[in-house]
A and B are shown apart, each in its own frame.
Chain A
Amino acid sequence: MQNAPLLRVEDLKVEFPTRRGRLVAVDGVSFDIAPGEVLGVVGESGAGKSMTGSAIIGLLEPPGRIAGGSISLDGRRIDNLPYEEMRKIRGKHIGAIFQDPLTSLNPLYSVGKQLVETIETHSDLSPTQARERALALLREVGIPAPERRIDQYPHQFSGGMRQRVVIALALCANPRLIVADEPTTALDVSIQAQIIALLKRLCREHGTAVMLVTHDMGVIAETADRVAVMYAGRVAEIGPVRDVIKNPKHPYTVGLMGSIPRIGRDEERLTQIEGSMPRLTEIPTGCAFNPRCPLVFDRCLRDRPDLIDVGPFHRVSCWKYAEGVGHA
């Protein structure tokens, strides 16, 4: 934030045309990611966080499409590039990690072949050099005996090992940004921590920025520098992780924090948010959270709130914090 942002997303809108009109899955989302920074994006399923990630790597599943706003990498707009141009950015400048390591790897290609193929796509290395690099990557992500493992097929690897391979694949061309979509959700709890630690270490070493999409607040707290909380396709609150967790402003974030159990606190029971996120067809006017908000007042039903500064780098979209409206 001090330096020029690596990734800038401005007023991004993602739509799906359906027979009952257009569904707006992402509605006016804006955020920056600085070089080397880890931005956590958290929210319930359907909040639009994965969709934002797909839009950034330019792989929205049709008929979904970017209907407005812009995405820039290093000051260059990438949301309107032709497919071939964008393809050269994918993998080389923006890497991706998906949720399920079991299905992310082609079962018919050996792990080495998938690595070498990716390395050769983005560099001028000879086949021998590419294989050397593949071995080095496997070693780096902590695969034991890479010389033996490199010629094996995905089904011969365990889930955790496969996710390490996926991370190696994402790092092939030393991208400056990695979009990691729920990278640990499909894994055993015991392995989740290892994978998160690995991702964190590698990104620190390589200076890679990460957009970490997850619904797990614990993973965010441990890994991210900043966090964006998404709700119904919009950013509800964004700020440094510490501030958001210690001092959540948006009623939704407050509820989200209240639902995480903490050790050493004298809480009788966990708070929970009443109701559920509206379906994309039924988003109310005004603030999308208004049907569930305990602090709702008339303006929330009428106008849609924008992000408002509530602290250094801490912004929230809630009328409660707008000037002159200090009550509830």
Chain B
Amino acid sequence: MIAFVIRRLLQSLIVMLVVGFVAFSMFNFLGDPINNMVGQDATEEDRENLRVALGLDKPFYVQFLVYLSNAVQGNFGTSYRLGMPVVDALADRLPATLELVFCAAGLALLVGVPLGVYTGLHRDRWLSKVFLTLSLVGISLPTFLIGILLILFFAVQLGWLPSFGRGDVVDLGFWSTGFLTASGLKALILPSVTLALFQLTLVMRLVRAEMLEVLRTDYIKFARARGLSNRAVHFGHALGNTLVPVITITGLQIGSLIAFAIVTETVFQWPGMGLLFLQAVQFVDIPIMSSYLILIAFFFVAINLVVDLLYYFVDPRLRADRAVAGGH
């Protein structure tokens, strides 16, 4: 168990180093930091002094190490566009994005998994076919269009829900939340649904495909041959085995929600990290871009680690170190 965790942690560390290197390369070779920091009228001497002060005259690998040690201490440089530390800019926006992603992920799983199980078990019922057709439409609808349509209907036509922003938020000091006010909760609805819809259809189709795959296996046939009830076969034997691969992909999907939030946040002018990142791309604000990359990578690595640990508890085959297979 401990060996397993350590191995996974090491792998995660390598991934983070690779991503850190990519981010550093962007930081270092793309935007010339000096140009972005000093005014037009700065002399060549001023520039040179700043260069030395920032350590940009040092060899490449030294700069990389400095970059890494800064990053570990939470120092990601200063945004060209906002003129404030990147860390502060991201920290400001983090709660908005995470609350949105949390709601969307919950929605996608709570609706997607049951629908997938249903359509997998009853593949020939008309309701399954309706769900399946709808899911294909869901996959074909771009997120931004869903958002636009929802705004058009619920905000413009009916006027029930706000079309942009977070509503009133409560500042808890380290975290600003929209969960505690009525307007904050109302503002969450449309963006969460928009963000969740695509993932929901993916989760549903994935669970369905896995379910069909598992239902064809010998051990399901053998479970039936032993006269076990449909409930035991479907929700015990089949569902358990379905969830093993679903956990992995769902983990990845939740990660990708953070990235897809970029689109949703743009449509709803949601003040999250995604909107910040998109503005950074448009203005070539390299420090924000590279830091966002590292942050996303960190989320992915963390989610993957959790998924692996879940795996470990769900699948006894991974716990093989407990006993060695016996002889004949």
Contact = CB atoms under 8 A, between A and B. Distances in A.
A59 to B, nearest CB: 6
B317 interface: yes
A157 B241 contact: no
Contact of B326 (A90, A156, A173): A156
Interface stretch (B49-57, B181-189, B215-223, B272-280): B215-223
A155 B326 CA distance: 10
Interface in A146-172: 149, 152-153, 155-158, 160-161, 166, 169-170, 172
Contacts of B241: 106-108
B72 interface: no
Given A106-B237, A107-B317, A88 B221 contact: no
Contacts of A118: 226-228
Contacts of A91: 225-228
Interface in B165-205: none
A100 B320 CA distance: 22
A161 B326 contact: yes
A90 B320 CA distance: 33
Contacts of B229: 87, 121
Which of A92, A105, A155 is the most central at the interface, judged by chain B CB atoms within 10 Å of its CB?
A: A155
Interface string A51-81: 0000001010000000000000000000000
A161 B324 CA distance: 14
B328 interface: yes
A122 interface: yes
A247 interface: no
A158 B327 contact: yes
A177 to B, nearest CB: 12
A18 interface: no
B224 A152 contact: no
A185 to B, nearest CB: 13
Given A118-B228, A121-B226, A104 B219 contact: yes
Given A88-B227, A104-B218, A169-B226, A121 B232 contact: yes
Contacts of A92: 227
Given A108-B240, A158-B327, A90 B316 contact: no
Contacts of B316: 107-108, 110, 153, 155
B25 to A, nearest CB: 44
A91 B320 CA distance: 31
Chain B interface, >50% SS class: helix
Contact of B219 (A103, A158, A194): A103
A270 to B, nearest CB: 31
A10 interface: no
Interface string B237-274: 10011001000000000000000000000000000000
A98 B228 contact: no
B46 interface: no
B314 interface: yes
B158 interface: no
Contact of A155 (B227, B244, B314, B317): B317
A121 B237 CA distance: 15
Interface residues of B, number: 30
A14 to B, nearest CB: 16
A59 B218 CA distance: 12
A73 B205 CA distance: 42
Contacts of B240: 106, 108-109
B315 interface: yes
B247 to A, nearest CB: 12
B3 interface: no
Nearest to B214: A106
B244 A108 contact: yes
A96 interface: yes
Contacts of B30: none
Contacts of B327: 158
A117 to B, nearest CB: 7
B2 interface: no
Given A152-B323, A156-B326, A157-B326, A106 B227 contact: no
Contacts of B236: 109, 117
Interface in B298-328: 314-317, 320, 323-328
B320 A155 contact: yes
Contacts of B237: 106, 108-109
Contacts of B317: 107, 153, 155
Contacts of A149: 326
Given A90-B227, A118-B228, A98 B221 contact: yes
A157 B325 contact: yes
Those 8 A-B pairs whose CB atoms lie nearest each other, nearest first: A91-B227, A96-B225, A103-B218, A90-B227, A91-B226, A153-B316, A104-B222, A160-B328
10 contacts: A59-B224, A91-B227, A91-B228, A96-B222, A98-B222, A104-B218, A106-B241, A160-B328, A170-B226, A172-B226
Interface of B: 217-219, 221-230, 232, 236-237, 240-241, 244, 314-317, 320, 323-328
